[in-house]
Amino acid sequence: MKNKILFTALALICLICSISITAAAQVTKIGTGHDPAIYGSKVTWADLSGVIHLYDLSTKKDTKISSSAASHPDIYDNKMVWFDKGSGVSRITIYDIPSGSKTFITKDVDDRSFSQIYGTRIVWSANDSVYMRDMSTSRQKKIGSGSDPEIYDTKVVYYTYTEADDIAIRMYDINTKKAITVNSYGDPNIPHIWGTKVIWADLYNHQGYIAMYDMSTKKTIDVTHELDTDPNGNEYGASASIPN
């Protein structure tokens, strides 16, 4: 009986160690920096010196792209974009991975023009306006008033202020050239989009929770809820971060 208990204990210890090792093995450091983005097997980020990195998960090769004062890279297929002020002028760099060539956007760009890319289109904001550029045609235009846009397929989401000085989430349709208000209550911030879903953090009452709009149903639901306490005084809800 003692041997059986000992064997069981050893097996349990081995299992715990195995789980710990497996969990640890799933986390791999591939570099040092900030603002990472991923597409397929390629990861990009900016390091503290303002250099852009492109890391291939398949070959484990880290390529440093000549840049300075660069930040907030994004990647789609063989194209990358990032904010760059190495020349002293705020600009968006467009980088072609196969050829290594660069082009720049300087019109309607400010110090917070952090771009997003999907397909041939790039979106960013400057001076409370949202812009879009199609790389295939080199056409650029303002599509709305607001900040922090994100693009998926033919939809662009961003947040803006209404005439009543309330914050609203807007969604622009590239095909119809029309925008709708997804949300105009609470304190929504920095929306994200994927497929038919738009999500954002609502920071009303200074406690963040996640809300989601579904384009297919045209309904908004609370994914999480505001911070609250149970009868035992334990806090729950509010899974969004709280700003400083």
Task: Kindly state the average pLDDT of the residues 9-37.
Answer: 64
| Distance, CA of 192 to CA of 117 (rounded, Å) | 13
Model pLDDT, residue 11: 43
72 vs 221 pLDDT, higher one: 72
pLDDT at 17 > cutoff 80: no
Contact assessment for residue 142 and residue 108, using Cβ atoms and an 8 Å cutoff: yes
In the chain, % helix, strand, coil (3-state, to 5) comes to 10, 50, 40
- Coil, helix or strand at residue 12: helix
Count of C-beta atoms within a 10 Å radius of residue 142? 12
pTM above 0.85, yes or no: no
Task: Kindly state the average pLDDT of the residues 80-100.
Answer: 96
The mean pLDDT value of the chain amounts to: 86
